Amino acid sequence: MRVCQFWRDIAKATPQLWTCLHIGYPHQFADPTGLWQWLERSGECPLDVILNIPLGVTDMRPTLVLLRGHVRRFHVLNIEVPTPGIADTILSSIALSEGKCNGNTAPLLEELCITIDEITRTILNTPFILPHGFGD
């Protein structure tokens, strides 16, 4: 699909168009360049973030480090993972820096949804504990 430069410029300059992030392809975790551009275009608007972690993604650090800087703008956080340990890793990574809270709170967060793969969910029925200070 081709868009003329005029409309492309308008879209890039309208932060409200860039507030819903769906991250779910393995290459997005390895190289979050596109995610960085998306976050820049969203300005300071609240964000609806969907993290769908597929099996086989081994290094989420680049993406999680980038998201960590925008936690204060999270309006919705939807995490879909194959195992409970990955959900815990994500929550700890975006809320903490070097073992300290680092002031990373989510004051705009209205919805937090954690979905664990159906097979895992039937085997394990353990509640998640959010890191201290995450929702303050």
- DSSP string across the chain: ----HHHHHHHHT-GGGG-EEEE-SHHHHH-THHHHHHHHHTTT--EEEEEE--TT----HHHHHHHHTTGGGEEEEEEEESSHHHHHHHHHHHH-BTTB-TT---TT--EEEEEE-HHHHHH------PPTTTT-
Q: What average pLDDT does this structure show over 16-24? A: 94
Q: What average pLDDT does this structure show over 16-43? A: 89
Q: What average pLDDT does this structure show over 89-107? A: 68
Q: Which of 46-50, 73-77, 85-89, 126-130 has the lowest mean pLDDT?
A: 126-130
State yes or no: pLDDT of 40 exceeds 90.
yes
Q: What is the pLDDT of residue 88?
A: 86
pTM of the model as a whole: 0.77
